[in-house]
Structure 1
Amino acid sequence: MVDATLTTLEQALRDEISAERLKAHLEVFSRLFRDSGTEDERRAAEYIAERMREYGVATEILEFDGYISWPREGTLTVFDDKGGAQQIPVRTRSFGASTPPEGIEAELVFIPFNKPAKGEMIFSHRAVAGDYTGRDVRGKIVLTADGGPDGVRRAQERGALAHIHIWPSDEPVIHEMIATSIWGTPTRDSAPRIPRIPALGVTHADGERLREMCEAGTVRVRITSDVHTAWMRLPLVVADIPGSEPNTFLLVGAHIDSWYEGITDNATGDAALIEMARVLSKYREHLRHGVRFAWWPGHSTGRYAGSTWYADTHFMELRKYCLGYLNIDSPGVRETEIWDCRYNCGEIEHLTRAAVKELTGQDPNVRRPLKAGDQSFLGVGLPSLGAFRMLPIDHPDRKAVGGCGGGWWWHSPEDTLDKADPEILADDTRLYVTMTARMCVPALHPYDFVPVANDFINHLRDFQDVGGAHLDLTPAQHQADLFREAALRLREKAARVAAEGSDPTHLNAGMRALSRILNPALFTIAGAYEFDPALQLPVLPGLAPVQELATLDPESDDYRFLRTQLLRQRNRIEDALMQATALANSLAES
């Protein structure tokens, strides 16, 4: 329950949000093509910094070298058996390989793939493989709806010369995409995952015509691909509104770079941060914990390079003092209605759920974080929170895309000023400023770790049901039960501290430390100091391959290698739960 003082403040913050100011920011951004590493991106950063200083918010523009890939021109020529040729429009993919100037000529081979259902996001099917059964693609060019970095990898591993992605929904645009799964700047270990083959995209309609040709007989094509990949100097704007409590802060981020104008992906998010900073700076005396705003470069052409660099270079500060991470991407899209809250960790899901319910009347679909959208801080252990408004499933503009509220114009030249609605953007920003206030105004952090314990219990049970005969997870399950008991005691302790108005400094620090133990275990494989690939994985991703283990021959090398890997992941999860239980009990008893 939100207390009366906070309710009054929240209303004042919401009343301050101005649709006209938001519209003015969008008009500025509409004149800038903010590809990372360009002058327009830098102009956008300078514009934001000027606004922050105008509002009296301490601001700096950090700079770093990011590994950025610009897709440039590509061609696809289809030859017929009479010596004729036709050109099919294509777009190259960021981090795809370039061809020689004369291109590559080879047979085109279609690989079947189950497409997303209507209204599903493009990200939802990335873990599903195309069906290569009985198909030899060595020295050939693959045509498939098995897209994304994993689809390119599968084609490359099977010896294909190139990969052409058929878009799964029927909009008449080709979306800009990225072909690498590497999260942020590559390391020596991850750099080999940069694709070595060209990657192109075609529309659904053109892809279907090509598929029909492949099924009717042999098809030969020639492709060219020109992709510029290089180190580029990038600007990262950071603005701080400190609270009365030293050092602690909520991180609020939005990516500054975009494809083309990129109004609803993500000029609207950039404008929302500017307006939130303006309003919160007027009421800064009410903030117990500070707010740090960051505009990330390298989102689209560097696979979250900016937020990853920030996590790397500010790791210890984030680890020790940050309350959580609110990512804002693609708000304010015209005609959006449905709230989809897909980036929420268990300890703060109640905050998102309550805010959306109170401000919109909707019962939101609160889900755990996806591996997308600058979620670069789960390894650090930061609780993630977020809420996004989507087009209705049956809206004619809703397609299988990854942003823009589900709008078909995502990652295309059609993402223009008319796709945004300043009034909807103002309402969205009111929700975000309310969520921020509920994190930063109360003295006590609003965490509840019982849902986190339930996440462990439920997912460990599911994995045990599938693979328990091959990998015994009952010790980890037992430890998850013990952690839930400790989390319940900690919930009672927090309620007493809040009711008594006691100093929560020690409890806050302990709960932040608890999130640093739990979130890397729940949401990463690599852990705190590295970054998993940008592929969709379930909760407890380190244990997910136990489902595959159950299908393998127990006498095979593959089975024994995988079982060893899973045993180590089981130990990691059990150890994290043991540490978390001890800390939660200690905090509850202190």
Structure 2
Amino acid sequence: MTEPSTPEARLLSQVSGSRLMDSTRSIARWVRLSGEPDELASFEWVKARLEEYGFETELTHHRAYISLPGPAVLRVAGHDREVTGISHAFATSTPTGGLSGRLVDARSADAAGAADAFAGKIVLVDGMASGVSVRTWEDRGTIAQVHVHDDHLHETSVSPVWGNPTEQGLELMPRTPGLAIRRSDAAWLRELMSGGPIEVTIHTEVLTEWRPIPLLTAALPAAPAEPYVLLSSHIDSWYYGAMDNGSANATTLEVARILAENAGELRRGLRVAFWSGHSHGRFAGSAWYADDRWLDLHEHCVAHVFVDSTGGKGATVVTEAPVMPQTKGLAAAAVKAVTGEEFDGKRIGRFADQSFYAIGLNSVFGTLSEQEASGASDTISFKTGGKRAGGLGWWWHTPDDTVDKVDEAFLVRDTKIYLAALHRLLTAPRLPFDYRPAIEEVAATLGSRAKASARHLDTTGLLRDAADAHEAIHRFHEALDRAGREADEVANRALLRLSRHLVPLAFHESGRFERDLAEPLVPVPSLRDLERLAGLPEDDAVAHAMATRLHRTINRVRFGLRNATRVAREAQQELTAVSAHAEA
């Protein structure tokens, strides 16, 4: 048998399919609801494995706002048929005896265009519920929402708040009940409505409370303490959650095991975290950790690598995983090394325990492999877009997410990709980040928005600062490409500092110590409303108020751009000096 030709190839050859499947089966023995005893048992099992591998572990508890939905039922007045469904996490429970009202189809009511089409009614709407959709329907006056899924019922959370809510966050929580039903039942309801108005009664049960949940962290003492890479995944699950997230927990453990056995090669530290509260607390575990360890993460963490739903049956697409522009090259190299495929990637958003944007951490992966879209178009699953990617499988967030939905060969493949990415982050003499595509995205975004809103705001300074940052960062990378190994310390210091300015600017909307809402993410989100402003008349009172807010936000964005420019220029000068000294 030929020996692997490189250190990375040697590490990849150590990935064990049987060990991965054994770990998946072990974790998927338990239904892992956040804060429940069976979840804690799975945490203790993972903790024991990490200690076997040589990690120092800490299993603690913190308080989190957790919501556990129960069954739901819908009945139509005058009919014996009972429609069974599921409630939504963070929606309200119905009163004793249920909630009754007229059922209105969002399709036909929207077409009618009446302003009061939904007021005081229960709405039937296609697709999964979300915090955004629930707030929209509540604003339109509905007293409840009935969401139509595919042939299966997929659990979900409708909290608009990321992590634990503040006092203000509690005020944003849903005020109405909601449930999901199958499309066959929705077809029956629509057939009834075609003959005239119908009255329905719904019953939902949701337990929402503050409760302690576990948090497991581990450090590898044989590796440097800092700077370090954070590797994480969530343990909590819907039902037995073999793919989501038992297989990903297995991937995390296998990567940790192999890196621990090769700790002498590592230039940087490795910290591993397993979260609770992902599914039932809107990422409460990782958000709490980010709050609790903010300063340490800001000063020492070079990247966050998140592992979710690896090795799914039929998950043939590995080239469209979510990444940041500056980490796309790293992801592409890892995918290429394992599969030989060219990586396209897509922009990472607000999902997958990405609780670290405000701190400024570079992120690699949220999910990894997905189904082919051509075979998943008729199903609801976790889908984040792409050319080919079609989500995580019809069993996602259902009782059918069992071990038979995990493909051992795909799990080995995905684990090797994660291992390759981690190995490069931990051993590369220079951190593998390229900020040129990141600043290009920022500059292009600001350019188009500034042009559209120019009649309301003077954005000349904003565009000038974006152009300066663009030039400085490109020149920094050009100097970096020319520099030898003697410049690694200067390079790594600058590569870390640049992330602290560019990531919050490009991926975070509110203040550095605040949480954004759990809403869709666009580039430079704090200035997204420049597009709305562009559509308002110049003499509009709302436009004046919006321009006042955006004027202040522009200052914040300019401040971040200027800091990034300063870091890049200073680093370029240092690189030039170090290189000149080495040549002398």
User: What's the TM-score once normalised by structure 1's chain length?
Assistant: 0.91
Number of residue pairs matched by the alignment: 563
Question: Matches of residues 519-530 of structure 1 in structure 2 within 5 Å?
Answer: 519-530=503-514
Equivalent residue for 1:399?
A: 379
2: CA distance, partners of 1:471 / 1:354: 42
1:317 aligned partner, one-letter code: D
Equivalent residue for 2:288?
A: 309
Decide whether aligned partners of structure 1 residues 460 and 397 sit closer, same or farther in structure 2, where only a CA change above 3 A counts. Answer: closer
For the 8 Å contact 2:68–2:89, the answer to whether it is kept is yes
Question: Matches of residues 475-514 of structure 1 in structure 2 within 5 Å?
Answer: 475-497=461-483, 500-502=484-486, 504-514=488-498
Equivalent residue for 1:150?
A: 132
Q: Which moved more, 1:249-258 or 1:401-410?
A: 401-410
Q: Which moved more, 1:158-167 or 1:27-36?
A: 158-167
Shift of 1:474: 3.6
Question: Matches of residues 21-40 of structure 1 in structure 2 within 5 Å?
Answer: 21-40=19-38
1:503-540 deviations in Å (ceiling 9; x for gaps): 63343233212211111111111132111111112111
Equivalent residue for 1:556?
A: 540
Decide whether aligned partners of structure 1 residues 581 and 396 sit closer, same or farther in structure 2, where only a CA change above 3 A counts. Answer: closer
Check if 1:86 corresponds to 2:81. Answer: yes
For the 8 Å contact 1:340–1:390, the answer to whether it is kept is no
For the 8 Å contact 1:253–1:295, the answer to whether it is kept is yes
For the 8 Å contact 1:61–1:235, the answer to whether it is kept is yes
Decide whether aligned partners of structure 1 residues 244 and 270 sit closer, same or farther in structure 2, where only a CA change above 3 A counts. Answer: closer
For the 8 Å contact 1:514–1:583, the answer to whether it is kept is yes
Question: The residue matched to 2:401 in structure 1 has which SS?
Answer: coil
Question: Matches of residues 27-426 of structure 1 in structure 2 within 5 Å?
Answer: 27-79=25-77, 83-112=78-107, 134-145=115-126, 147-167=129-149, 171-242=150-221, 245-386=224-365, 388-395=368-375, 399-402=379-382, 405-426=391-412
Check if 1:573 corresponds to 2:557. Answer: yes
Question: The residue matched to 1:406 in structure 2 has which SS?
Answer: coil
2: CA distance, partners of 1:552 / 1:206: 43
For the 8 Å contact 2:231–2:271, the answer to whether it is kept is yes
Question: The residue matched to 2:62 in structure 1 has which SS?
Answer: strand
Question: The residue matched to 2:347 in structure 1 has which SS?
Answer: coil
Question: The residue matched to 1:484 in structure 2 has which SS?
Answer: helix
Question: The residue matched to 1:96 in structure 2 has which SS?
Answer: coil
1:16 aligned partner, one-letter code: Q
Equivalent residue for 1:121?
A: none
Shift of 1:8: 1.4
1: CA distance, partners of 2:114 / 2:415: 49
Shift of 1:186: 0.4
1:23-56 deviations in Å (ceiling 9; x for gaps): 1111112210011111111011000010011111
1:273-295 deviations in Å (ceiling 9; x for gaps): 11111100010000000111111
1:395 aligned partner, one-letter code: G
Decide whether aligned partners of structure 1 residues 273 and 496 sit closer, same or farther in structure 2, where only a CA change above 3 A counts. Answer: same
Question: The residue matched to 1:252 in structure 2 has which SS?
Answer: strand
Equivalent residue for 1:440?
A: 426
Question: The residue matched to 2:373 in structure 1 has which SS?
Answer: coil
RMSD of aligned C-alpha atoms?
A: 2.2
Shift of 1:212: 4.1
Equivalent residue for 1:453?
A: 439
Shift of 1:240: 1.4
Question: The residue matched to 2:429 in structure 1 has which SS?
Answer: coil
Check if 1:542 corresponds to 2:526. Answer: yes
Q: Which moved more, 1:103-112 or 1:335-344?
A: 335-344
For the 8 Å contact 1:342–1:370, the answer to whether it is kept is no
For the 8 Å contact 2:376–2:391, the answer to whether it is kept is no
1:331 aligned partner, one-letter code: T
Shift of 1:468: 3.1
2:75 aligned partner, one-letter code: T
User: What's the TM-score once normalised by structure 2's chain length?
Assistant: 0.92
For the 8 Å contact 2:66–2:277, the answer to whether it is kept is yes
Decide whether aligned partners of structure 1 residues 130 and 26 sit closer, same or farther in structure 2, where only a CA change above 3 A counts. Answer: farther
2:500 to 508, 513, 516: 516
2: CA distance, partners of 1:578 / 1:445: 22
Q: Which moved more, 1:58-67 or 1:555-564?
A: 555-564
Gaps of 5+ in 1: 1-5, 114-128
1:100 aligned partner, one-letter code: P
2: CA distance, partners of 1:131 / 1:303: 35
Equivalent residue for 1:429?
A: 415
Shift of 1:496: 4.1
Decide whether aligned partners of structure 1 residues 7 and 244 sit closer, same or farther in structure 2, where only a CA change above 3 A counts. Answer: farther
2:547 aligned partner, one-letter code: R
Decide whether aligned partners of structure 1 residues 342 and 560 sit closer, same or farther in structure 2, where only a CA change above 3 A counts. Answer: farther
2:76 aligned partner, one-letter code: V
2: CA distance, partners of 1:66 / 1:7: 48
2: CA distance, partners of 1:343 / 1:566: 29
1: CA distance, partners of 2:396 / 2:223: 41
Question: The residue matched to 1:277 in structure 2 has which SS?
Answer: helix
For the 8 Å contact 1:95–1:227, the answer to whether it is kept is yes
1:308-349 deviations in Å (ceiling 9; x for gaps): 011000001110110111111111001211124443222221
